[in-house]
Structure formats: C-alpha cells, structure tokens
Amino acid sequence: MESYEPERLSAAQLAAMKRSLTSGRGALTRRSLLRASGMGALALGGMATLGACGIPPAKRADAGAASDDHSAQEKEVTFSNWTEYMDVSEDEKGRPTLEAFTRRTGIRVKYTEDINDNVEFFGKIKPQLAAGQNTGRDLICVTDWLAARIIRLGWAQKLDASNLPHAFANVSAQFRTPDWDPGRAYSYPWTGIPTVIAYNVKATGGRKVDSVTQLLDDPKLKGRVSFLSEMRDTIGMTLLDQGKDPGKFTDAEFDGAIGRLQKAVDKKQIRRFTGNDYTADLSKGDIAACVGWAGDIIQLRADNPDIEFAIPAAGYITSSDNLLVPAQARHKTNAEKLIDYYYEPPVAARLAAYINYVCPVDGVRDELAKIDESMASNTLILPDKEMAAKSRSFRSLSTEEETAYEEKFAKLIGA
C-alpha cells in the first residue's frame, strides 16, 4: 500500500477544533437549533487522534475512482447523517420522506444518525478512505470545510448528473458554485447555516444594529458587543464590512481584518468572543448586539420579542452541510437518486418544515406555505432574493493558511 507522511495540526488548529466542538459549529444540535455546550465532548478523542496521526496532505492517485456499483442488484442505500436532521412522524416512530422514497423507488434506506460532529466522524471513516476501502456508507452529510477536504483528498465520487435532474435544476444560486466544488460535481447542500447580526432592542434603546461597523465603533454599544470564536464567521463578517470578499481575500486583507478587530478589543468595545453562550447574555441584555448564528436567533425570537436580527448591507457569511458519496461506496446510483429526491420542492419543503434551516432548494415557498405560512415567510429559512444575493462563503484554505490564520485568530481572542 502507498505510504505518505500526514500533515500535523498546530496547537492553534486543535484549540479551534475544541472550541467548535464544545460551543461552536461542531456543537450544533440540528433540531433545537441551539449550539449546546458539551455536544462535542464525545469528539475530543477523535480530535486528539487527528492531532497525533494527522491528515494526509495530498490526493491518492487511485482514490475517489468510481467503485463497482451494485445499485441495480441491491435496492438499498446507507445514509449517515447528523442527529435530528430528518423529518419524523408525529409519533416519532417513522421518517415520512424516507418511507415515501422507498415506496416510490423500492430502494430501502438504512438511515443512521451517527454523526455527532465533523471531526469525530472524519476520524471514523478516514482509515478506510485512506486505504481505498468501503466505509460502509453510500451517502454522508458533512460541513463545507470537511466536504472540501474529502474532495481534495480524492475520497468522494464524482456524481452522475443524469441521475440528478431535480438537484441540478433546483439548487439555489447561493449554493451552486462553492470554490471547493464548482458546479457541484461531487456534492449537494443539505442545509445552509447563516451568520447574521443579532441585537436586543431593549438593550439598544430601540435602535437598530445592522452593521459590523456599528458593533466595532458605536460608543453606545461599548462593552456590550460580542463576536464568535469561530474564525471563519468573525473574520468573514469583518472582511465583508471592509469591502473585501471572504471568498477571495489575501493574507494582507486577513491581517487587516485582524487589526480592525484588535483595535475594538484594545478599546474594550468588544466584551468577548463566544461560542453558543452568547445567547443567554443577549436575551438578558448584558450583550446588546453581536454576531451570531441564525439558528440561535430563530429559537431566541420564539421566546423573547426583544430579539431582532439584521442582514448587513455589506453581506453575511453562510456555511453549509453537504451530501457526498464516499469513495468505494457500494450503491452510488441509489445514493444519487436519494439526493435528487430531496431536491423535489414538496419533499424539500417537508424537510425544511421540520429542521428549520436555510433550504437550498429553489421553488419550495408555495409548498412550505401549505405546511406553515410563517416558515415560508421567514427569511432565515427561505432567504428572499435580496438576502440570498448578500450571502457569501469563506474560501477554502490551504494547510499553511489554516495554520497561520488560526494562530493569528487565537492571539486575537486570547485562546
């Protein structure tokens, strides 16, 4: 077997992973939309494994090649997903959309909620992928940065567009061309996760807060502002406010964003950098305004009418969770049919009604309105054209960039 020297993760990268797993993106609970602390505890062993063993730096020559497809003979597909990331029946014993797929196609879905966080899951499947072996999964759902890594390493199969007519036609423009998978040759988004500005109207004295400039400079907000401890979200939003594109920025522009934030730290404008724990302070008014995750804001607004959100004129960051077919998967065509099924508007609407994330499927508004009119009009679930046009993604990073950027960000936030 081919041997190669794995890349090592720096202390700053490991610290960033730990933050993400315990209170950041990795701690996301898909149903409640709260980023509960402690969700990442199970992953710390996997994180340590990655730090010790590393991640292969380059693509294997034979990885990602089309595997023998047994879809025609074996009417089944194995799908690994996050917990509570699929619609369930009222008695919570069935999965209506999956069951309807089986009735229509005859393809049985073995659905497993075995993804607790990206790092832990990658630790599970990396040995088989690196060895060119079947992971036992035909379809997986991982966050954009990990999807990018799997594709870069050659561990995802190229999708057959002829099996994906609905997906190809209906994927929303804001998700159609990520830099790590242009044209969606290897992946399709399951959901989008926006980063927005949130504020407590009572704490701001009735004033709207709708820009990063206000967060960093408004003296009336001094000491009552928070940013996220996730580098891509905080730096991405700051880059946008500076008129820079987070999908194309340079080292100098990254340093400029760090400097902008450092000034606000030095003058004590920023109270702290947080994971999901900003929610309690925002609800109480101890934090008047912040950069936060849309999922949290949906939940907070349901309980506190003083919580508002704003989409900056400069734009906002959206990350995504994505469906991929791993290398050597046994039922590629069946997996593609399942992906395509979830891009049919009636099916996508039912899924969106349950999980309440940004739906990446065009044409679902009328279908979602039949289920819940309030959801159909919620731009945090179905962004309107104006909001969607402001969505930006943080670009893929090389190993060297990720190491350097995380070290600079760790120094900024005192991690």
Digit-coded pLDDT (tens) for 27-54: 554 444 332 322 332 333 334 434 444 4
The percent of residues above 70 in pLDDT, for the chain, comes to: 84
Specify whether 403 is located in the same domain as 295: yes
Specify whether 91 is located in the same domain as 124: yes
Specify whether 280 is located in the same domain as 337: no
- Other CB atoms within a 10 A radius of the CB of residue 103 amount to 9
What is the residue-wise DSSP string for 192-214?
A: EEEEEEEEETTTTTT-----HHH
Specify whether 214 is located in the same domain as 336: no
Contacts for 269 with CB less than 8 Å, ≥ 6 apart: 215, 216, 217, 221, 222, 223, 225
User: For the ranges 105-109, 235-239, 309-313, 377-381, which has the lowest average pLDDT?
Assistant: 377-381
Specify whether 288 is located in the same domain as 168: no
Structural domains in the chain (count): 2
Give residue 6's pLDDT: 46
- Rounded to two decimals, the pTM is 0.78
Here the CATH number for the domain that contains residue 255 is 3.40.190.10
Specify whether 298 is located in the same domain as 407: yes
Residue 2 maps to a domain: no
Give residue 2's pLDDT: 38
Specify whether 312 is located in the same domain as 336: no
- Burial of residue 90 (number of CB atoms within 10 Å: 0-12, 13-18, 19+): exposed
Specify whether 404 is located in the same domain as 330: no
Q: Average of pLDDT values for 160-174?
A: 96
Contacts for 92 with CB less than 8 Å, ≥ 6 apart: none
- 357: pLDDT strictly greater than 60: yes
Q: Average of pLDDT values for 183-203?
A: 96
What's the rounded Cα separation, in Å, for the pair 8 and 322?
Answer: 25
Give residue 47's pLDDT: 41
Residue 167 maps to a domain: yes
User: For the ranges 31-35, 134-138, 388-392, which has the lowest average pLDDT?
Assistant: 31-35
Specify whether 105 is located in the same domain as 154: yes
Calculate ∠ Cα 327-329-331, nearest 5°.
145
Q: Average of pLDDT values for 332-338?
A: 98
* Angle in degrees, 0-180, between the axes of helices 96-105 and 332-341, rounded to the nearest 10: 120
Specify whether 273 is located in the same domain as 400: yes
Tell me which residue of 215, 390, 216, 218 sits closest to 314, measured CA to CA. Answer: 390
Digit-coded pLDDT (tens) for 275-315: 878 999 999 999 999 999 887 888 788 889 999 999 999 99
Confidence of residue 63 (pLDDT cuts 50, 70, 90): very low
Digit-coded pLDDT (tens) for 201-241: 999 999 999 999 999 999 999 999 999 988 999 999 999 99
Give residue 9's pLDDT: 62
Digit-coded pLDDT (tens) for 244-262: 999 999 999 999 999 999 9
Pairing of strands 289-293, 187-200: antiparallel
Give residue 19's pLDDT: 57
* Mean pLDDT, all residues of the chain: 86
User: For the ranges 64-73, 298-307, 387-396, which has the lowest average pLDDT?
Assistant: 64-73
Domain residue limits at 92: 74-185+324-342
